[in-house]
Amino acid sequence: MDVISVIRTKRDKGELSPEQIDWVIDAYTRGVVADEQMSALAMAILLNGMNRAEIARWTAAMIASGERMNFDSLSRPTADKHSTGGVGDKITLPLAPLVAACGAAVPQLSGRGLGHTGGTLDKLESIPGWRALLSNEEMLHVLDTTGAVICAAGDGLAPADKKLYALRDVTGTVEAIPLIASSIMSKKIAEGTGSLVLDVKVGTGAFMKTIEDARELASTMVALGTDSGVKTVALLTDMSTPLGLTAGNALEVRESVEVLAGGGPADVVELTIALAREMLDAAGIKDADPEKALKDGSAMDVWRRMIAAQGGDPDATLPVARERHVVTAPASGVLTRLDAYDIGIAAWRLGAGRARKEDPVQAGAGVELHAKPGDTVTAGQPLLTLHTDTPEKFDYALKSLDASWDIAPEGTAFTPTPIVLDRIA
């Protein structure tokens, strides 16, 4: 076996054999295949695609590059959720304790933000003392004692994916649907969850801009999960407008706690409950009511135990940015558009995100929304508030907001986009 023949097969639109896939993943993980060779293969996959058998084998090879976790010792069925990433997407924070309060165990392996999309671990690290890095034994203990854990994936889980993802990020191949699907599913299958709900974002603030691409990605991942014995379902959800009223780390934690306290923005509550119902159904739990668990405080109780179990102080004051800048509405009327991508870029430029994985983030930085599409606004009223510790970033962030909204004359009819666009199982 040699890497040149593997590259040529996919370059010429051929089908990679199982032996070719197993060999190239293993050889790349061991350093036998060079980065420039794997980047050539990744580009060939981006341009020419993979069929279902190839994607399944590629995913299996990445799983085989590391360890597999097992939750058979737990007394509860396991259910996990994965989002493909968006702006203001803090759903994991209230969702994990909510599903745990309803009887499932939620082993939530999460990631960090990159570019305009926020990262769950970055958000939670704004809580003083909270730890993202847990050993497998610590993760199992927190899961067993609280019902939910949100943490970083260990180094032993699908190491081939870690190496390949970093390469894709710098070679223009992140958008390859076969590689996105296998990247997500290799980690989730290796994690050992019994069921999985996928939140596939669609719109300007998502990696999948069209419903067709999102449906293809969702179908591919559902097939991979099903073929591996993991009950998998996907919801396609709107990401043309930011979720909730905040985009930024501590800002989103604050909003998530509001949801757990029985309040919070309606769209965040709606999607949290929709995903909770899917997770509970996939786990075989039929008699629980997630809406009730939000209102009666039981989800909040799990949140507090989960945060404390990972070293965090659930009562601690969250960081607040030192500087603010208010953006006002330029005219009166109906706000008909507020672009998620532009808001995400602004939050990133203010310090809430990173350009490289090793870059630090500001816990208090981000964007606060004072209106959402469909709201009536008055000229001069606050539309957005920008938060940062470094005020010299304001001008750079404001440039991303030059054409971020539309305001129509008062009385203009507005039809909101549904949050859940489709379901694939």
Per-residue pLDDT of 70-98, as tens digits, reads 999 999 999 999 999 899 999 999 999 99
- Range of lowest pLDDT (19-28, 350-359, 361-370): 350-359
Q: Max CA-CA distance within the chain?
A: 68
Q: How many angstroms separate the CA atoms of 217 and 223, rounded? A: 10
Active site residue 399: no
Q: Is a pLDDT exceeding 90 seen at residue 154? A: no
Q: Where are the domains of the chain?
A: 3-49, 79-154+190-309, 323-408
Q: What is the pLDDT of residues 270-290, one digit of tens each?
A: 999 999 999 999 999 999 999
pLDDT tens-digit map of 1-30 = 899 999 999 999 999 999 999 999 999 999
What is the CATH topology of the domain spanning 3-49? Answer: 1.20.970
Contact between residue 331 and residue 379 where contact means Cβ atoms under 8 Å apart: yes
CB count in 10 Å sphere of residue 50? 23
- Active-site annotation holds for 324: no
pLDDT on residue 116: 82
DSSP state, 387? E
pLDDT-derived band at 113, boundaries 50, 70, 90: confident
The secondary element (H helix, E strand) that includes residue 166 is helix 159-169
Is residue 168 part of the annotated active site? The answer reads: yes
**CATH number, domain 323-408:** 3.90.1170.30
- Which pLDDT score is estimated for 357? 66
> Encoding tokens for residue 305?
């135990």
Q: Minimal CA–CA distance to 136: which of 153, 120, 122, 119?
A: 153
Per-residue pLDDT averaged across 200-213, rounded? 95
Q: Quick check: is 161 catalytic?
A: yes
User: How does pLDDT run across 41-73, given as a tens digit for each residue?
Assistant: 999 999 999 999 999 999 999 999 999 999 999
Which is catalytic among the residues 81, 116, 187, 277?
A: 187
Q: Rounded mean pLDDT of the chain?
A: 95
Q: 10, 57, 81, 82: which is the annotated catalytic residue?
A: 82
Of the candidates 134, 8, 146, 23, which has an alpha carbon nearest to the alpha carbon of residue 76? Answer: 146
Q: pLDDT digits over 383-411, tens only?
A: 999 999 999 999 999 999 999 999 999 99
Tell me if 87 sits within 8 A of 247, measured CB to CB.
yes
Percent of the chain residues past pLDDT 90, beyond the cut: 90
Give me the residues paired with residue 333 across strands: 377
Mean pLDDT of 313-332: 98
- Catalytic residue from among 89, 161, 238, 267: 161
Within 8 A by CB and 6+ apart from 211, the residues are: 202, 236, 421, 422
- Catalytic residue (choose from 168, 201, 215, 393): 168
- Residue 165: band (very low, low, confident or very high) from pLDDT cuts 50, 70, 90: confident
Q: What percent of the chain has pLDDT over 70?
A: 100
Q: Is 357 a catalytic residue?
A: no
pTM (predicted TM-score): 0.93
The Cα–Cα gap between 74 and 341 comes to: 40
Domain at 79-154+190-309, CATH class: alpha beta
Region 352-362 average pLDDT: 82
